[in-house]
């Protein structure tokens, strides 16, 4: 509920709100991953393997989006996490 009376303009400190746009790729990702996981599990693939496979696919997708968007810091963090996961080690605290 807004504290401004109807017809009053928003203050300069209040950010403008833009509508959220959902792309077809987002809708596809949200629907395909659970369906694919369920289909693989029904075909006899162990659930742990299904989750590992889908997590890997999600990480590849996130990495691709980060690289395309110029998110070098995010891409570096994802790569470091992937290397640690592959090596089976935890990050060292500083």
Select from 74, 80, 82, 28 the least CA-distant residue to 56. Answer: 82
pLDDT number for residue 73? 72
Which two structure tokens, joined as six digits, stand for 11?
Answer: 């203050």
Q: Where are the domains of the chain?
A: 46-88
pLDDT average, residue stretch 7-36: 74
Task: Give one DSSP letter per residue of 38-50, joined into a string.
Answer: HHHHHTT--HHHH
User: Would you say residue 17 has pLDDT above 80?
Assistant: no
What pLDDT, in 10s, does the model give residues 44-79? 999 999 988 888 888 887 777 777 766 777 777 778
| Confidence label for 14 from pLDDT (cuts 50, 70 and 90) | low
Cα separation of 53 and 86, whole Å?
A: 13
**Widest CA span in the chain:** 61
Contact 31, 25 (CB under 8 A): no
User: Would you say residue 2 has pLDDT above 70?
Assistant: no
What's the full length of the chain, in residues?
94
Which two structure tokens, joined as six digits, stand for 6?
Answer: 């109807």
């Amino acid at each position: 509920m807004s504290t401004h009376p109807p017809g009053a303009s928003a203050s300069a400190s209040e950010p403008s709100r833009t509508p959220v746009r959902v792309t077809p790729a987002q809708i596809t990702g949200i629907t395909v991953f659970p369906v694919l996981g369920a289909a693989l599990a029904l075909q006899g693939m162990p659930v742990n393997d299904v989750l590992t496979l889908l997590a890997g696919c999600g990480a590849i997708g996130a990495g691709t989006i980060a690289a395309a968007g110029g998110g070098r810091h995010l891409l570096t963090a994802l790569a470091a996490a992937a290397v640690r996961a592959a090596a089976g080690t935890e990050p060292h605290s500083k």
